Amino acid sequence: MPKPIHPLAQALNADLAAGGCVISSLLSRKGLRAFFPFQGILGQSAEARQTKINATIGTAFEEDGSPLCMECLEGMVQAPPTAFLYAPSSGIPALREQWSAMLARKNPSLAGQMHSLPVVTHALTHGLFLAGQLFLDPNEKLILPDLYWDNYELIFEESCGARLKTFKTFRGRHFNVKGLERLVLAAGDKKVVLLNFPNNPTGYTATEAEALAIRDVLLRAAQAGKRLVVILDDAYFGLAYEKGVFRESLFALLANLHPNLLAVKLDGPTKEDYVWGLRVGFVTYGIKGGTAAHYKALEAKSAGVVRATISSGSNLGQQMLVQAYAHPDYAVQKAAKFATLEARYRRIRRILREHPEYRESFKAMPFNSGYFMCVKPLGVEAEPVRQRLLAGYQTGTIVLAGLLRLAFSSVPLEQLDTLFANLHDAIRNLKATP
């Protein structure tokens, strides 16, 4: 017999159902059970914060009240020694506020829209896992395009027990909005969707027209009475290199679209601020008609999953980001890094333009953003091409779903011509002597 649902979780569920809001009906069984233990050690510690003698805290302090840390570790970082104490499970407040303000600047259409405060996760993966725990029951379907980051399988299928239900990513040179539409309008009241722009592996972001079409499809589904969770993996946000690409997160279009649609935005500095190993990310919720109480309850459930899986994120990582986001050179440095990636993107575009003969050996899949682009070898399978490139050309690529993924994020400008020449040659070679 499972335990009855904890009274704190029941209270959150009631909050989420208040005003006829659909959120509680979108939660998985684990999501319904999730709560943050405000009454336990954490709540009691909070109550004691102002006391003179505070014997509540499971960290250690020196006789003078400063954190009891080893000098050899403190000396390695430019951060207050409080960076070695625990961060709150939901993240340090300054960073959450900062990220929220940055969301507003990066997504002007969010202006005046209400959404939750971001809750800190251990980067994107943990945010995806958290969303899976809260919204997907075992064997429930997660709708997504068929070109996706392979770790989705471990996260959603192996760990949450859900099933991926894919539609073809592209229709010709465009995002396959029809494919999405067919699946969200199929039988079944609850639909959980995952969209990832800029996409890993393709490096594709929906155009402005496609973004609006996606919004319209989801709106129609919501209007038809479907209840939707739309998870947005915005890992590569901001890295768009072409005009006409939708520059904001889909969250800006979905967070206040319809009372039947909960938008779940997952993002973080990992890719866009180039701090992969720092492991900080965010989850932010938006739903039309969502109240402060709804968002507080979603934040509490999210913090509960954080507490149950990792207790809290890296405080040092969070403190470093707070400092970086306030640094006078942050914007300039970020622009310089972006320019490095963009220059590689432009070079690839030029290479493809200047070498029409490459079209005999591979097709470039649509790409306009992010760290990657993909090619489809013509007349041969992708895996032998990868092997041939490794063995004969000292060139490393990734095979995913029959495509070769090329990470231009990690290839210097001057190697790009050779990369594509090698690719062309390896494929011709393979066709000649399989």
Residue 362 is a binding residue for its own copies (CB under 8 A): no
CB of 260 to its own copies, least distance (A): 27
CB of 416 to its own copies, least distance (A): 9
Helix, strand or coil, per DSSP, at residue 76: coil
Residue 41 is a binding residue for its own copies (CB under 8 A): yes
Residue 308 is a binding residue for its own copies (CB under 8 A): yes
Site for its own copies in 222-251 (CB under 8 A): none
Q: Measuring CA to CA, which residue among 274, 201, 198, 207 is closest to residue 238? A: 198
Name which of 247 and 347 has its Cβ closer to its own copies. Answer: 347
Stretch that binds its own copies, among 73-81, 170-178, 205-213, 284-292 (CB under 8 A): 73-81
Name which of 291 and 309 has its Cβ closer to its own copies. Answer: 309
Site for its own copies in 365-384 (CB under 8 A): 371-372
8 A C-beta contact, residue 96 and residue 117: yes
8 A C-beta contact, residue 392 and residue 432: no
8 A C-beta contact, residue 57 and residue 86: no
Strands (E) located in 334-384? 362-364, 372-377
Name which of 139 and 243 has its Cβ closer to its own copies. Answer: 139
Count of CB atoms within 10 A of residue 386's CB?
Answer: 19
Residue 218 is a binding residue for its own copies (CB under 8 A): no
CB of 16 to its own copies, least distance (A): 17
- Orientation angle between helical segments 315-325 and 93-106, nearest 10 degrees: 50
Which residue in 316, 365, 380, 403 binds its own copies (CB under 8 A)?
316
**d(C-alpha 407, C-alpha 397), whole Å:** 8
Name which of 46 and 224 has its Cβ closer to its own copies. Answer: 46
Residue 59 is a binding residue for its own copies (CB under 8 A): yes
Residue 56 is a binding residue for its own copies (CB under 8 A): yes
Site for its own copies in 110-149 (CB under 8 A): 122-126, 129, 133, 138-139
8 A C-beta contact, residue 375 and residue 405: no
Residue 258 is a binding residue for its own copies (CB under 8 A): no
Stretch that binds its own copies, among 140-148, 173-181, 248-256, 410-418 (CB under 8 A): 410-418
Which residue in 17, 18, 85, 352 binds its own copies (CB under 8 A)?
85
Stretch that binds its own copies, among 19-27, 77-85, 223-231, 351-359 (CB under 8 A): 77-85
8 A C-beta contact, residue 129 and residue 308: no
Tokens 């239900």, residue?
A: 165
**d(C-alpha 140, C-alpha 192), whole Å:** 9
Structure tokens at 341: 């990636």
CB of 110 to its own copies, least distance (A): 25
Residue 325 half-sphere exposure toward CB, CA atoms < 13 A: 20
Site for its own copies in 169-208 (CB under 8 A): 200
C-alpha distances (whole Å) from 204 to each of 196, 208, 294, 314, 333 are 9, 12, 33, 31, 25
Stretch that binds its own copies, among 13-21, 174-182, 256-264, 308-316 (CB under 8 A): 308-316
**d(C-alpha 290, C-alpha 19), whole Å:** 9
Q: How many chain residues touch its own copies (CB under 8 A)?
A: 127
